[in-house]
Amino acid sequence: MLAFLMSALERFFFRHRLATLGLLAVITMIMGNFASRLEMSAGFDKQLPQQHEFIKTFNQYRDVLFGANRVIVVLHARHGDIWNRQAMTRLYDLTQTLFFMPGIDRRSVTSLWTPNTRAVQITEEGMKAEDVIGGDVTVSTLDDQAIAGIRERTIVGGFVGSLVANDYSGAMVVAELADPDPQTGQRLNYLQFSQRLEDEVRAKYADADLDVQIIGFARQMGDIGAGAKSVVAFFALAFVLTALAVYGYTRSWALTLLPLLCSLVSVVWQFGTLTLLGFGLDPLAILVPFLVFAVGVSHGVQQVNFIAREVCAGADGMTAARRSFVALFIPGTLALITAFVGFATLVLVPIPMIRELAITASVGVAYKIITNLIMLPLMASYFRFDQGWVARVERLRARRDNAMVSLGRIAEPRNAVITTLLCLSLMAVAVWQSQGRHIGHVLPGAPELREDSRYNRDVESVVSHFSLGLDQFTVVVETPAGGCFRQDVMTHVDRLTWALGNVPGVLSAQSLPALAKLAASGVNEGNPKWAALPRDELSLGEAVRQVPEALHLYNADCTLLPVNLYLADHKASTLKRVVNVVERYRAEHGMPGVTIRLASGNAGVQAATNDVVEACELPMMLYVYLTIALLVLLVYRDWRAMIACCAPLTLATFLGYGFMKALDIGLTVATLPVMVLAVGIGVDYAFYIYNRLQMHLARGQDIVNAFQLALREVGVATVFTALTLSVGVATWSFSALKFQADMGLLLTFMFMANMLMATTLLPALAVVLEILIPRRGPVRAPLIAH
Amino acid sequence: MIVMQWFRWLAVAWVLVFAGRLWATEIDSPAILLNNAQSAPLVAVARTGQRWVAVGDHGVIVHSGDGRVWTQSKSVPVDGLLTALSFADDRQGWAVGHNGVVLHSDDGGQTWVLQKRLDDQPTLLSVWFENARHGMVVGAYGYAAQTLDGGATWQAMQVGEEGEDHHLNALFAGRDGTLVIAAESGKAYRSSDHGATWQSLDTGVSGSLWGGTGLRDGRLLLVGMSGRVLMGDSSGRHWQRLDSGSHEAITAVTQLNDGRVAWVGNGGLVGRSDTAVEHFSVEQREDRLNLSALAANTSGDLLLFGPTGVIVPDAVPGAEK
C-alpha cells in the first residue's frame, strides 16, 4: 500500500519534474517578495505573558507608576569628587542639554542645578526651603565658597545617595520622557532617542576627567536594538560555516548547493509567511529561521548522503535521485512531523512571543517536506557526477568507515553494558546536578544585554555609588477615592510596606504612608516622635501634600497607592519570596474597598514571566516526549525502540539542564523553546540510526553487526550534521545580546549531546535490552524503509 | 497649585464624610518579628537591671545586654509608633505611643501586653514611673494622666493653665524627686508633690523644648529646638542659656557616669560637655541622620538611636569574643 503510493508519487514528480520545479520557483519568487518586506521588531510586550495577573496590573498602570520612563544621566568623576568648578560647570551644561532635548518632559528634569531641588530646614519659625543652588550662584560665579555652600545644602536637603553619589564621586540628572509627545501626539522613537543621548550627551560631555553614564529604559532599548542588527551578521556567518562544512563532507559544490539552497528556499517561504501573518522578525525569535534552516540542512545532508552512496554504487544522477526520494520521503516526513508537533506544542505557552515562534517554526518545518524531500531530489536528478569525484569520495568514505567501525564496537555486549552503566550514572549525576537550576535571569543588570556591556557597566556603577536599586518591584494598592486621606487605608499600606521592606533581598521599600510619616514629623517641628500617620484627615492631608508628586506614589484622585520595592537582585528566589509575602499579607489582612495587586516594575514583570515559564516547562517536555514515544511505537511497533530512542534524548535533556546551571543560564522566554526544540531535533538522529538498525535486524543480522552497518550508512552523516549545526550556532555566543548568546551556547550543547547519545547510548541500550529480555519473535521491519 | 488646592478641598470633603467613622475602625495588629530588628527606626531607650530596652516605629521593641547584640521583644501586640518607655524596677516597665497605647512588661521588657488604650487615643510622647504603682504619661495638646494602680486605671492630670494645649514633650525626674515637663514653645512645668500640682516655669525662650535630665548635682537641664540648652537650678526658677555650638534640634540628653553630659539631635548631631557641664563640643555625623535617643555603655561609648536603628560605636579590637 505504502510502497504503491510511493511509486505513484515518484512517477508523478519525476515525470513532471520541470513543471514541479517551475511551480516551486514561482512560489519562491512570490514569497521572496513578501519576505523582503519583513521588518525587524523588538517587541517588549510580546515577551510578557499577557494573561498573567501581574502583567494585567503592569499594563493597566504602566504609564502612571514611577520609573517607567525615566532616563538617568550620571556625571562621574574618574578621580576625586564632583565638588569642583569643572564638574559643577559640566553638570550645569548637562542639565541644560537634557532640558532642551526633544522627547524630555522639561518639568521633570532634576539635578542640583534645577530649581525643584530644594533643601528644607525646620526652624522655630517654621519650615524654610531654599534652592540647593540658588539664583545668586551661576557658572561664572562658582568659587570654592559657593561650592562649599552647594555641598552643605545638598547634604541638608538629603540629596546624598539620590542626586549625588554617596561618596560624592558623581552627580545625577534625572528626567522623565514625554511619550507620547504632548504637542505632536507622536510616540517617541526609542532607538533614535537613545542614539541622541549617545551623540549629544555622552560624546559631548565625557572626557579624561569626567565620565558620563546613561541608564534608563530608552537607553536599554537602544542597545538591544543595536545588538539585534548584528543578528543578521551571525546568520550570514552561520550560513557560510555551514556551506564550508557541507562542502568538506561532500567534496562537491553541486551537492553542497542542494541542501543549502533547498533549506534557504523554505526559510524564504517562512519569512514570506511571517509577513503574510502580520508578524515581524523578533531578535528573540531569530532562532527560528536558523533552526528551520538547520533542520533543512540536517535532512538535506541525509539526502545528499544517500544520493552520493548510490552514485558511488554506479547509478546515474537520475536513478540516484529517484531512489533517494523513495527511500527517504517517509522517514523524513515522519521526522519532520515529530519536529512539527514538538514545535507546535509551544503554542500552549501563554506568552505571545513563544506562540509566534511556535507557529512560524511549525510552518517552516512543514515547508521542509516540500523543499527537502521533494524539491531536493528533483533538482539532484539534473546533476551529472564525473568518475574523478566518485573515486575521491570512495577514498574518503573508506577512511570515515574505519572511524565508524571503531565507534561500532560500542555494540559489542561487554562495551554496551559498560556504556549503559556509564550513561546511567551520568544520568544520575545530571539529574542531581540539575536540581535547583535557575529560573529566570540570574546576572545583575539588564538581562537582555551582556554583563560587560556598556549599559550594564553603567548600571553597576550607578547602583554602587547611589542609594538606588534598579530591580524595582511594585505592588499596586487600589483604594477608594481619597485613600491618601484615610488613616486606616494609609496604615494598611504602611503595614504592607513595612512587611515587604523586611523581606530578605529587599533593599528598601517606598510608599506614600512611609514618606507621609516623615512629613508628619516635619510639620511637627521635625520631632522624630511625630513620625506617625496623623489620625485626623486634615493633618494627614497636610503630611501627604509634603510628599513630592514626582515620586508617583499616588495618583490624582488618590485611588492608587503603589509600594515600590528595590531588590538586591532579580533572582527567581528573591522574587518568589516577595510575591509570597504579598500574597500572605493580602490573604490575612483584607480591607473592604482596598485591593492589593501584584505586580509592576521590571522585577514584577520578571516574576510573572518566571512563573509562566516554570509552570510550562514540564508539561511542554511531557507533550513532546509523549509525541515522540507514540510515533516511535507506531513506526517500529516495538517497546524496545521506544526506550532506545527516548532514553538518550532524556539524558541529553538532563545534561542540558546541568549545563544551564553550570553556566548560569536561567530558564527564560529565550531558553525554554530551545530546550523543547532541541528534543524535537535530537530525535532525528535517533530516528535515522534506529531505522537502519532495525532494518538490518529484520534481515537477520545480529545486533552488533546490524549497528555497525547502520553506523556506516548514516553515522557519518549524523555526526557531521550535528557538528555543522553546532559550529553555526556556536558563533552566536559572541553576540552582544545575552539571550542570543545563551541560546547559542545551549543549542550547541544540545546538538552535540543529542548526537553523542544517539551514537553511543542508543545502540548500547538496544544491545543491553536484547541481552536482558531476548526477543521471542522475529524482528519486524520498520514501516518506513530507507 | 490648582491640584494642591483641589487636594485641600478633597481633604475637607473627606473629613466631613468620614469624620468619626474611622475612629471606630482602628484594628490592632501585632508587631512583626524581624530578622534584623535593631535596624528598625528607634526613638527612645531606657535601662532596666542589666539591659537596655529601646522602642520605635512598627511596634518594634528591642533589648540588649551588651549594646551590640539586640533581640526583638516577643509578643508586642501593636505595630504603631512607640515614643517612650520607663521602668520602675528590674522587671516592671511601660511603653507608650501614638493612639493612646500603653504597653506593660513584667519581665524586664522581653514580652509586652497592651495594658490600656487611653480614652480619645491621645498621642503619648513621654512616660515616667516612680514605682510599680505610680506613674504618669504626657502627650500632645497638653494631655497628661497618672495611675496609682500600675496602669490599670488612669486619671487625667491638669498640667498647664485651663485651656492650654501645648504639646508636653518629655517628662523626667530631678535628683530630689522633682518632676519636670519639657513642652512646646519654650514652656516647662515642675511638680514637687509627685504630680499633684504643677507650676509653669519661665524659661525665657519661645522655641520648643524636647527633652531634659536631672543632673546628679541637682541642677536641671532642658534641651530643644535650635540647639537650645538651658541650665536651671533645682527649683526651676532660674534658667541660663548655654551655647551648644549647633542650631540643629536636640532630641535627647543624658548624663554619663563621669559627670559629663551627652546629647543627640537632628541632622546627625552628637554633643558632649565637660565634667562641669559648662562647655560643649559638637560633631555632626556625615550621614545627617535624625538621632532621637542615646545611651552610654560601660566603657563610656555612646549608643545612638535613630531612623536606621541602633548605631553601635566602632568595635574596639579584641572587645568582641
Q: Do A538 and B12 touch (CB under 8 A)?
A: yes
Is the preceding omega at residue B19 within 30 degrees of 0, hence cis? no
Between A32-41, A307-316, B37-46, B293-302, the lowest mean confidence (pLDDT) is in: A32-41
Q: Which CATH number characterizes residue B90's domain?
A: 2.120.10.80
Q: Do A541 and B290 touch (CB under 8 A)?
A: no
- Residue A622 DSSP SS3: helix
ipTM: 0.90
Is the same domain home to B140 and B231?
A: no
- Asked if B311 is an interface residue toward chain A (Cβ–Cβ < 8 A), one would say no
Q: Which residue out of B9, B22, B118, B165 would a mutagenesis test of the A interface target, given it has the greatest number of A Cβ atoms within 10 Å? A: B22
**Type of residue at B279:** H
Q: Do B121 and A535 touch (CB under 8 A)?
A: yes
Q: What is the pLDDT of residue B314?
A: 65
In angstroms, the separation between the Cα of residue B11 and the nearest Cα of chain A is 6
Mean pLDDT of A706-722: 84
Closest residue of chain A to B207, computed from CA coordinates: A124
Q: What is the pLDDT of residue B200?
A: 95
Q: How do residues B217-245 score in pLDDT, each as one tens digit?
A: 999 999 999 999 999 999 999 999 999 99
Q: What is the pLDDT of residue A380?
A: 92
Q: Do A486 and B18 touch (CB under 8 A)?
A: yes
**Type of residue at B145:** A
- Asked if B43 is an interface residue toward chain A (Cβ–Cβ < 8 A), one would say yes
Q: Is residue B29 part of a domain?
A: no
pTM summary value: 0.86
Residue A198 has pLDDT above 60, yes or no: yes
Q: What is the pLDDT of residue B122?
A: 95
Least Cα distance to A262 among A341, A377, A381, A382 occurs for A377
User: Residue B62 and residue B310: Cα distance in Å, rounded?
Assistant: 10
Q: Up-side HSE of residue B248: CA atoms within 13 Å toward CB?
A: 22
Is the same domain home to B185 and B268?
A: yes
* pLDDT classification of B24: cutoffs 50, 70, 90: very low
User: Residue A769 and residue A411: Cα distance in Å, rounded?
Assistant: 12
- Asked if B288 is an interface residue toward chain A (Cβ–Cβ < 8 A), one would say yes
Q: Which three cell numbers stand for residue B253?
A: 540628653
Residue B6 has pLDDT above 80, yes or no: no
Helix (H) or strand (E) holding A692: helix A671-698
In angstroms, the separation between the Cα of residue B184 and the nearest Cα of chain A is 10
Q: Which CATH number characterizes residue B239's domain?
A: 2.120.10.30
Q: Is residue B208 part of a domain?
A: yes
In angstroms, the separation between the Cα of residue A566 and the nearest Cα of chain B is 17
Closest residue of chain B to A483, computed from CA coordinates: B14
Domains of chain A in start order, with CATH, are 1-37+259-385 (1.20.1640.10), 68-223 (no CATH), 387-433+637-786 (1.20.1640.10), 455-607 (3.30.70)
Residue B23 has pLDDT above 60, yes or no: no
Residue B26 has pLDDT above 70, yes or no: no
Chain A residue numbers touching B32 (CB-CB < 8 A) = 498-499, 502
User: Residue A472 and residue A478: Cα distance in Å, rounded?
Assistant: 19
Is the same domain home to B81 and B195?
A: no
User: Residue A737 and residue B41: Cα distance in Å, rounded?
Assistant: 43
Helix (H) or strand (E) holding B224: strand B220-224
Q: How do residues A610-631 score in pLDDT, each as one tens digit?
A: 999 999 999 988 988 888 888 8
| DSSP state at residue A732 | G
**What backbone phi and psi angles, to 5 degrees, belong to A779?**
-75, 130
Closest residue of chain B to A590, computed from CA coordinates: B27
* pLDDT classification of B319: cutoffs 50, 70, 90: very low
Residue A115 has pLDDT above 70, yes or no: yes
User: Residue B100 and residue B119: Cα distance in Å, rounded?
Assistant: 7
Burial of residue A563 (CB within 10 Å: 0-12, 13-18, 19+) is buried
Q: Do A488 and B12 touch (CB under 8 A)?
A: no
Q: What is the pLDDT of residue A340?
A: 87
Mean pLDDT of A174-198: 82
Between A156-160, A663-667, A763-767, B311-315, the lowest mean confidence (pLDDT) is in: B311-315
* pLDDT classification of A785: cutoffs 50, 70, 90: very low
Q: What is the pLDDT of residue A42?
A: 58
* pLDDT classification of A182: cutoffs 50, 70, 90: confident
Q: Up-side HSE of residue B280: CA atoms within 13 Å toward CB?
A: 22
Is the same domain home to B277 and B245?
A: yes
Which of these three, B100, B132, B157, is where a domain ends?
B157
Q: Is residue B136 part of a domain?
A: yes
Which candidate from A495, A499, A537 shows the least CB-CB separation from B11?
A537
Query: Which residues face B179 on adjacent strands?
Result: B173, B191
Residue A463 has pLDDT above 60, yes or no: yes
| DSSP state at residue A408 | H
- Asked if A502 is an interface residue toward chain B (Cβ–Cβ < 8 A), one would say yes
Q: Do B32 and A123 touch (CB under 8 A)?
A: no
Closest residue of chain B to A160, computed from CA coordinates: B287
Least Cα distance to B182 among B135, B150, B134, B139 occurs for B139
Between A348-362, A540-554, B21-35, B268-282, the lowest mean confidence (pLDDT) is in: B21-35
Is the same domain home to B304 and B174?
A: yes
Between A205-209, A372-376, A598-602, B121-125, the lowest mean confidence (pLDDT) is in: A598-602
Is residue A269 a contact partner of residue A366, using CB atoms and an 8 Å limit? no
Q: Up-side HSE of residue B9: CA atoms within 13 Å toward CB?
A: 6
In angstroms, the separation between the Cα of residue B127 and the nearest Cα of chain A is 13
User: Which residue bears the cell 560643649?
Assistant: B280
Which candidate from A124, A517, A540 shows the least CB-CB separation from B226?
A124
Q: Which domain holds residue B102?
A: 41-157
Q: Which residue out of A523, A527, A588, A589 would a mutagenesis test of the B interface target, given it has the greatest number of B Cβ atoms within 10 Å? A: A527
User: Which residue bears the cell 538496544?
Assistant: A766
Q: Do B41 and A531 touch (CB under 8 A)?
A: yes
Is the same domain home to B84 and B136?
A: yes
Is the same domain home to B183 and B301?
A: yes
Is residue A267 a contact partner of residue A384, using CB atoms and an 8 Å limit? no
How many separate domains does chain B show? 2
Q: Do B84 and A529 touch (CB under 8 A)?
A: yes
Mean pLDDT of A659-679: 87
- Asked if A482 is an interface residue toward chain B (Cβ–Cβ < 8 A), one would say yes
Is residue A715 a contact partner of residue A691, using CB atoms and an 8 Å limit? no
Q: Is residue B101 part of a domain?
A: yes
- Asked if A43 is an interface residue toward chain B (Cβ–Cβ < 8 A), one would say no
Most confident of A229-243, A314-328, B145-159: B145-159
Q: Do A528 and B43 touch (CB under 8 A)?
A: yes
Mean pLDDT of B185-204: 94
User: Residue A151 and residue A145: Cα distance in Å, rounded?
Assistant: 10
- Asked if A59 is an interface residue toward chain B (Cβ–Cβ < 8 A), one would say no
Residue B72 has pLDDT above 90, yes or no: yes
Which candidate from B23, B84, B225 shows the least CB-CB separation from A525?
B225
Q: How do residues A344-391 score in pLDDT, each as one tens digit?
A: 888 989 988 888 888 888 899 899 999 999 999 999 999 888 888 888
Q: What is the pLDDT of residue B191?
A: 96
Q: Do B210 and A538 touch (CB under 8 A)?
A: no
Q: What is the pLDDT of residue B315?
A: 45
Query: Which residues face B224 on adjacent strands?
Result: B209, B228
In angstroms, the separation between the Cα of residue A446 and the nearest Cα of chain B is 30
In angstroms, the separation between the Cα of residue B12 and the nearest Cα of chain A is 7
Q: Is residue B19 part of a domain?
A: no
In angstroms, the separation between the Cα of residue A441 and the nearest Cα of chain B is 27
Chain A residue numbers touching B15 (CB-CB < 8 A) = 536-538
B-proximal residues of A, 578-617, CB under 8 Å: 589
Is the same domain home to B237 and B277?
A: yes
Give me the total of CB pairs closer than 8 Å, taking one residue from chain A and one from chain B: 111
Its sign, for the CA torsion A109, A471, A213, A220, is negative
Which of these three, B95, B122, B157, is where a domain ends?
B157
Distances (CA, A) of A543 to A58, A591, B173, B281: 28, 23, 34, 35
Residue A136 has pLDDT above 80, yes or no: yes
Most confident of A255-259, A294-298, A636-640, A739-743: A255-259
User: Residue B89 and residue B129: Cα distance in Å, rounded?
Assistant: 9
Is the same domain home to B139 and B72?
A: yes
Between A512-521, A534-543, B116-125, B311-320, the lowest mean confidence (pLDDT) is in: B311-320
Q: Is residue B163 part of a domain?
A: no
- Asked if B26 is an interface residue toward chain A (Cβ–Cβ < 8 A), one would say yes
Is the same domain home to B245 and B111?
A: no
Query: Which residues face B96 on adjacent strands?
Result: B84, B102
Which of these three, B129, B157, B185, is where a domain ends?
B157
**What backbone phi and psi angles, to 5 degrees, belong to A215?**
-135, 165
Q: How do residues B101-143 score in pLDDT, each as one tens digit?
A: 999 999 999 999 999 999 999 999 999 999 999 999 999 999 9
- Chain centroid, CA A517 distance in Å: 42
Is the same domain home to B246 and B303?
A: yes
Between A338-342, A583-587, A763-767, the lowest mean confidence (pLDDT) is in: A338-342
Through-space distance between the first and last CA atoms of chain B, rounded to whole angstroms: 59
Residue A406 has pLDDT above 70, yes or no: yes
Percentage, residues of chain A above pLDDT 70? 97
* pLDDT classification of A443: cutoffs 50, 70, 90: confident
A-proximal residues of B, 188-207, CB under 8 Å: 206-207
Q: Is residue B150 part of a domain?
A: yes
Q: What is the pLDDT of residue A189?
A: 79
Residue A775 has pLDDT above 80, yes or no: no
Residue A674 has pLDDT above 80, yes or no: yes
Indicate the average pLDDT of chain A.
Answer: 87
Q: Do B210 and A527 touch (CB under 8 A)?
A: yes
Q: Is residue B14 part of a domain?
A: no
Is the same domain home to B178 and B307?
A: yes
